[in-house]
Amino acid sequence: MLVLIILLPLFGFFFGIAFGRYNGKGTCFITSLTVFSSFFISFYFFIKLLFSGTFYKVTLFPWIFSDFLTINWNFYFDSLTLGMLIVITFISTLVHIYSIEYMKEDPHLNRFMSYLSLFTFFMLVLVTSNNFLQLFVGWEGVGLSSYLLINFWFTRIQANKSSIKAMVLNRIGDFFFLIAIFSLYLITNSLDFDVIFSLVTLIKEYYIQIGIAKFCVLDLICLCLFLGATGKSAQLGLHSWLPDAMEGPTPVSALIHAATMVTAGVFLIIRCSFLFEYSPLILNLIIIIGSITALFAATTGLLQNDIKRVIAYSTCSQLGYMFFACGLSSYDVGFFHLYNHAFFKALLFLGAGSVIHALANEQDMRKMGGLRIILPFSYSIMLIGSLSLIGFPFLSGFYSKDVILEIAYAKYNTFGHFAYYLGVLAAFCTAFYSTRVLILVFLINTNGFRTNILNAHEGSYFFVLPLFFLTILSIISGYLSKDLFIGFGTDFWSNVIFILPYNYSLSDIEFLNLFNKILPLLVVLIGIFSAIFLYFFTLPSYFNYKQTKWFKYVYIFLNRKWFFDKFIVELIGINVLTLSYLYNYKDIDRGVLENFGPFGIINNVNNTIKKVKKIQTGYIYHYMFYIFIAILILFIFSLINFNYILILFLFVMYLLF
């Protein structure tokens, strides 16, 4: 029954791919039903886990059975896995149902639903594995299905480019992940989590010497794991695929960028908490990268004009929060934020999808506005989602986000405070851009096209139902599961997450001074009111202000994503392409190898033969000359030493050719 959780979406995928064309809309219902069933089963086991604290491990059959290496297809259901499972399957079910309506008129609906199921399947493989290799199967599979889904409208060149970008940037991270897997195998001769995690104190003792520098192997492994997670979770440096992945259909964005794919990186770090705990260096790196990502993405989200892009940057920013929560050794808080974030981000994406759907696929916020009256339901869900995202008190985002910020301050070291202040700034930006989206889309007078506005309407039940569930969960999930995940002394994470005692700081947040506790909330309120002030009340003067020179620079800087794409393309992309053309292609492939290889030999032989042919002139006395000279020379040199003939031959050849 536990394996059914994983196999049902796979069945849905195969059904959709193989038989989808024969039964019309049947694929939608089969895939939705399979994913729902797997949600149902995992929810059952989650409840069971809550009551009895039982973990499960299902061994299917051996996969690799070599000398020291034994890898089975194991499915491991502990509290972390089950927590992820209910999130993934729940969001996936709702996205499936939502896509039935959203993709109603698409001719490739079967393919779409199948890919969604495939994606869910790989994500389930990822979270339920109990060894690194099986996790890597899910890891790569998730990347593959994200490629397929982003590229779903394969006739659009932009979608093709985005999906290739997503794939390539993910592969960069995967490469490091592979290195980490290899080195873990090299040291422990195993890939199972339980073996590796129990040997972590052994791994800690390994050092490698490179020159005069001495590296702890565990640090390098953790660095590689972190870089792998960076690619998957769109942290700074490898983040630029995430906003571009908005080229896929909106449900895909909701699935990939809210609940599943990007959480895989966070999941990996939480899973490997045993390794990361013993590597404080990398934990600090995670804090820095995570908090910078949070701030960077939040500031970039401030001035984006595409509604989905804003939400994508907020995803990126929230992932930064999760990362630095993990870096602060509060893996449970990171997971809690992941859990809440999945609900309200899926809600935001699907709400945005509903707005886009209502406006005939218009994504530009500057061409929206005034939809509060036409789409009251979408407005209310977007409002709840946004309030949840910006951490409005007593909504789900508040419970996790404020805890993250408080933990950052309660760390009482430089990295913690660094993360705290960046996180607070990011919270301000989050509040600002969320409010900005609401104002630009719903509150101000409309800027859209007349036909779009006239034809705007709410979706049917397939839209409303998932949004309704997500809204409810966005409101209550934080409150409901606060005590479960991060409650003081909760035994939910029995042995799954490991925190060194001197890294533990969750209890310290009770002793923060009031100002630092209240600061995020204050900042959020300031953000909300400043956005309302700028975009709602003083929009004309804001526009005048926008025309000034310095503001224009800031605007371009933020709107163009801190020029990160430009940097990556112009410093790395183009140079790598140029180098690969100049050196690999032109100099080596078509140069050295060709000249010493086929072309060079052919040219040489041709030239030589032409010269040899010229000897035979057609004059008899020339022929006689050659004959006598040759005989004479052979005769003379045979008298001296026969070996010289070879040298003589080479010399003559040299003279002639």
Q: Cα separation of 338 and 318, whole Å? A: 8
Taking the complex as a whole, how short is the minimal distance between the CB of residue 608 and other proteins, in angstroms? 13
Q: Cα separation of 346 and 341, whole Å? A: 8
Taking the complex as a whole, how short is the minimal distance between the CB of residue 618 and other proteins, in angstroms? 3
- The window from 130-138, 195-203, 584-592, 613-621 that contacts other proteins (CB under 8 A) reads 613-621
Q: Is 543 or 619 the residue whose CB approaches other proteins more closely?
A: 619
Q: Does residue 620 belong to the site contacting other proteins (CB under 8 A)?
A: yes
In DSSP notation, 575-601 reads HHHHHIIIIIIIIIIIIIHHHHTHHHH
Those residues whose C-beta lies under 8 Å from the C-beta of residue 53, and which sit 6 or more positions away, are 491, 494
Q: Cα separation of 142 and 138, whole Å? A: 6
Taking the complex as a whole, how short is the minimal distance between the CB of residue 630 and other proteins, in angstroms? 13
Taking the complex as a whole, how short is the minimal distance between the CB of residue 605 and other proteins, in angstroms? 15
Taking the complex as a whole, how short is the minimal distance between the CB of residue 598 and other proteins, in angstroms? 26
- The window from 204-212, 276-284, 353-361, 612-620 that contacts other proteins (CB under 8 A) reads 612-620
Q: Is 22 or 621 the residue whose CB approaches other proteins more closely?
A: 621
- The window from 21-29, 84-92, 473-481, 607-615 that contacts other proteins (CB under 8 A) reads 607-615
Q: Does residue 360 belong to the site contacting other proteins (CB under 8 A)?
A: no
Taking the complex as a whole, how short is the minimal distance between the CB of residue 164 and other proteins, in angstroms? 57
Of residues 621 through 650, those in contact with other proteins by CB under 8 A are 621, 624-625, 628
360: phi then psi, degrees, rounded to nearest 5: 55, 55
Which stretches of 199-330 are DSSP H helices? 200-203, 217-233, 241-244, 250-254, 261-271, 273-277, 280-302, 307-327
In DSSP notation, 164-187 reads HHHHHHHHHHHHHHHHHHHHHHHH
Q: Is 156 or 610 the residue whose CB approaches other proteins more closely?
A: 610
Q: Is 541 or 617 the residue whose CB approaches other proteins more closely?
A: 617
Q: Is 507 or 617 the residue whose CB approaches other proteins more closely?
A: 617
Question: How many CA atoms lie less than 13 Å away from 496 in the CB half-sphere?
Answer: 31
- The window from 179-187, 364-372, 582-590, 619-627 that contacts other proteins (CB under 8 A) reads 619-627
Taking the complex as a whole, how short is the minimal distance between the CB of residue 626 and other proteins, in angstroms? 11
In DSSP notation, 32-95 reads HHHHHHHHHHHHHHHHHHHHH---EEEEEEEEEE-SS-EEEEEEEE-HHHHHHHHHHHHHHHHH
Among the listed residues 105, 549, 618, 643, the single contact to other proteins using CB under 8 A: 618
72: phi then psi, degrees, rounded to nearest 5: -105, 160
Q: Is 450 or 614 the residue whose CB approaches other proteins more closely?
A: 614
- The window from 70-78, 118-126, 591-599, 609-617 that contacts other proteins (CB under 8 A) reads 609-617
- The window from 220-228, 489-497, 543-551, 620-628 that contacts other proteins (CB under 8 A) reads 620-628
Q: Does residue 614 belong to the site contacting other proteins (CB under 8 A)?
A: yes
Taking the complex as a whole, how short is the minimal distance between the CB of residue 655 and other proteins, in angstroms? 18
- The window from 93-101, 116-124, 387-395, 606-614 that contacts other proteins (CB under 8 A) reads 606-614
Question: How many C-beta atoms surround the C-beta of residue 444 within 10 A?
Answer: 17
Q: Cα separation of 611 and 552, whole Å? A: 72
Those residues whose C-beta lies under 8 Å from the C-beta of residue 383, and which sit 6 or more positions away, are 438, 442
Q: Which two tokens stand for residue 65?
A: 């059975």
Taking the complex as a whole, how short is the minimal distance between the CB of residue 600 and other proteins, in angstroms? 24
Taking the complex as a whole, how short is the minimal distance between the CB of residue 636 and other proteins, in angstroms? 15
Of residues 276 through 305, those in contact with other proteins by CB under 8 A are none
Among the listed residues 616, 652, 653, 657, the single contact to other proteins using CB under 8 A: 616
Among the listed residues 488, 549, 613, 643, the single contact to other proteins using CB under 8 A: 613
Q: Cα separation of 229 and 282, whole Å? A: 13
Q: Is 414 or 617 the residue whose CB approaches other proteins more closely?
A: 617
Please give the single-letter amino acid code of residue 391: G
- The window from 180-188, 260-268, 491-499, 614-622 that contacts other proteins (CB under 8 A) reads 614-622
Q: Cα separation of 427 and 439, whole Å? A: 18
Q: Which two tokens stand for residue 373?
A: 């009256």
Among the listed residues 198, 578, 584, 617, the single contact to other proteins using CB under 8 A: 617
Asked whether 193 and 126 are in contact (CB, 8 A), the reply is no
* DSSP class of 131: B
Burial of 300 (0-12, 13-18, 19+ CB in 10 A): buried
Q: Is 198 or 617 the residue whose CB approaches other proteins more closely?
A: 617
Q: Cα separation of 149 and 253, whole Å? A: 9
Taking the complex as a whole, how short is the minimal distance between the CB of residue 643 and other proteins, in angstroms? 27
Which of 392, 231, 365, 358 minimizes the C-alpha distance to 308?
365
Among the listed residues 22, 488, 619, 635, the single contact to other proteins using CB under 8 A: 619
Q: Cα separation of 188 and 557, whole Å? A: 47
Number of chain residues interacting with other proteins (CB under 8 A): 13
**Per-residue binding letters, 561-600, with other proteins (x by CB under 8 A):** ----------------------------------------
Asked whether 397 and 338 are in contact (CB, 8 A), the reply is no
Q: Is 412 or 625 the residue whose CB approaches other proteins more closely?
A: 625
Cα 543 → chain centroid: 36
Among the listed residues 612, 640, 646, 652, the single contact to other proteins using CB under 8 A: 612
Q: Is 511 or 619 the residue whose CB approaches other proteins more closely?
A: 619
Q: Cα separation of 57 and 651, whole Å? A: 79
Taking the complex as a whole, how short is the minimal distance between the CB of residue 615 and other proteins, in angstroms? 7
Taking the complex as a whole, how short is the minimal distance between the CB of residue 570 and other proteins, in angstroms? 59
Asked whether 416 and 328 are in contact (CB, 8 A), the reply is yes
Taking the complex as a whole, how short is the minimal distance between the CB of residue 629 and other proteins, in angstroms? 9
Q: What is the contact surface with other proteins in residues (CB under 8 A)? A: 612-621, 624-625, 628
